[in-house]
Amino acid sequence: MTTDIETIGMLRNSLERYVEDNCSFLQRQELMKEPGSFSQQVWSDLAEFGFLSLCLPAEHDGLDGDAAAVGALMEVVGQALLQEPFLMSAVLATRLVARLGDAGQRGRLLVGLAAGELIFSCALEQADACQLEDNRLSGRIPLVMHGDAAHGLLVAARDARGQLQLCLVDTDQSGVQRTAARLLDGRGAASVTLDNAQVELLATPNNGLSLVDNLQLLRDEASVALCGEACGMIRVLLDTTNDYLKVRKQFGKPLAVNQALQHRMADLYLLLQEALALTDAAQRALSGPVAERRRLVSGAYTYICDAARQVANEAVQLHGGLGITEELNVTHYFRRVMLLNSLFGGRDQHFLRFVEQSLTAA
């Protein structure tokens, strides 16, 4: 299933317009002073304008958006550094419930997720951190992004027979202890301790893939969504730095006239073009053969992670003293870019998988 190009363009434009008015850098700076980690108002607006229904299946009147549609919105998320749990709840958790929940679970949960009334987060990386026995889950998850605000956690864990399961944990129960934390970029997270927490399993795959394959696919989808977000961040960093070099004068002329700096900007531009092309390719590969999917997703993620770092480092450097200040948007992108390295398995795991796939493909 592909989302048609007009729909994607329309979605993207309307989200861009919304964030321009409601999630400007200054508004974000104000938000960061508040105790909560994101804006409830923005979250309910995103629901009201239908953005949280992007991944909702058609049978629930959702858009059933594909990877390109998700990527288009993630680019805007990156451009505006949105703090809200769009990716975790409206994309990843929604897809998991839609694909792995039984009819009852889908009916009970999906509408709440799309309405923003339910916020879910996912912890899929450390299946050995928790033990599952008789629908009770115990263990410690060191860090879950948006775990501080989540009503439910989707946790991958092994059962007594060693089989991978996907557990939904209601966070409002005595067996769940959360310590809230703030990530480098100010987004919320939590360290979670589970002590015989009651869970329900999402164990009814309805898309022809096994549960294990579903979890792998979802992790790939998450990584590709982050590629989109990274492209948005790279674009803003590049534009901001380019504009600054034209206006900042030293030695009686704009910094931009220094050829050494022009060449560095040219290199950053190349990185953006490569990142955009790789993101596109990885989005397409998500619905293709598994081996090719692995190679492209992991290649794209590794390259884009490194590219985003280089662009962020250069953006800071080329702003001089200004480049390390809290008041400049650049430092906030810098901090979010740092996180890319460790999210969803992280850069090195992808790189190793890319090498593996490239060697076996030959």
Partner 1 sequence: MSTQLLEKAQQLREAVRHFVAHEMPAELRVKSQRHQVLERQDYLQWMQLLERKGWAVGHWPQQYGGRQWSSLERFVFEDELARLGCPWIIPFGVKYVGPVIYTFGSEQQKQRFLPGIVKTEEFWAQGYSEPGAGSDLAGLRTRAVRDGDHYVVNGQKVWTTYAQWADWLFCLVRTGTDGKPQSGISFLLIDMRSPGVTVKPIHTMDGYHHVNEVWLEDVRVPVENLVGEEGAGWTYAKFLLQNERTAGAIVGQARHVLDRLKKQAVETRVDGRPLIEQPLMRNRIGEFELRFLALEQASYAGVLAMDEGRDNGGEASLIKIRGTELYQQVSETLVDALAEAGMVFDTEALHATPGLPLLGADDVGGILKEHLYNRANTIFGGSSEVQRNILAKVVLGL
Ligand X SMILES: Cc1cc2nc3c(=O)[nH]c(=O)nc-3n(C[C@H](O)[C@H](O)[C@H](O)COP(=O)(O)OP(=O)(O)OC[C@H]3O[C@@H](n4cnc5c(N)ncnc54)[C@H](O)[C@@H]3O)c2cc1C
CB 305 within 8 A of CB 230: yes
34 binds partner 1 (CB under 8 A): no
| Window contacting ligand X (CB under 6 A); options: 10-18, 103-111, 178-186, 257-265 | 257-265
103 binds ligand X (CB under 6 A): no
Instruction: Indicate which of ligand X, partner 1, none lies near residue 40 (CB less than 5 to 8 Å, by partner kind).
Output: none
The dihedral through the CA atoms of 90, 336, 181, 326 has a sign that is negative
What element of type H or E holds 165? Answer: strand 164-170
Residue from 164, 261, 265, 290 in contact with partner 1 (CB under 8 A) = 261
Token pair of 337 as six digits: 């870019």
258 binds ligand X (CB under 6 A): yes
The dihedral through the CA atoms of 270, 263, 334, 24 has a sign that is negative
Residue from 250, 259, 266, 362 in contact with partner 1 (CB under 8 A) = 250
351 binds partner 1 (CB under 8 A): yes
* Other beta carbons less than 10 A from residue 338's beta carbon: 15
Residue from 33, 266, 326, 362 in contact with partner 1 (CB under 8 A) = 326
302-341: which residues touch ligand X (CB under 6 A)?
317-318, 320-321, 324
Name the DSSP class of 38. Answer: S
Token pair of 58 as six digits: 């058609």
* Other beta carbons less than 10 A from residue 219's beta carbon: 19
Residue from 9, 104, 107, 142 in contact with partner 1 (CB under 8 A) = 142
Q: Count of alpha carbons within 13 Å of 3, Cβ hemisphere only?
A: 25
250 binds ligand X (CB under 6 A): yes
Alpha carbons 149 and 169: distance in angstroms, whole number: 13
339 binds partner 1 (CB under 8 A): yes
143 binds partner 1 (CB under 8 A): yes
Q: Which residues bind ligand X (CB under 6 A)?
A: 248, 250-251, 255, 258, 260-261, 317-318, 320-321, 324
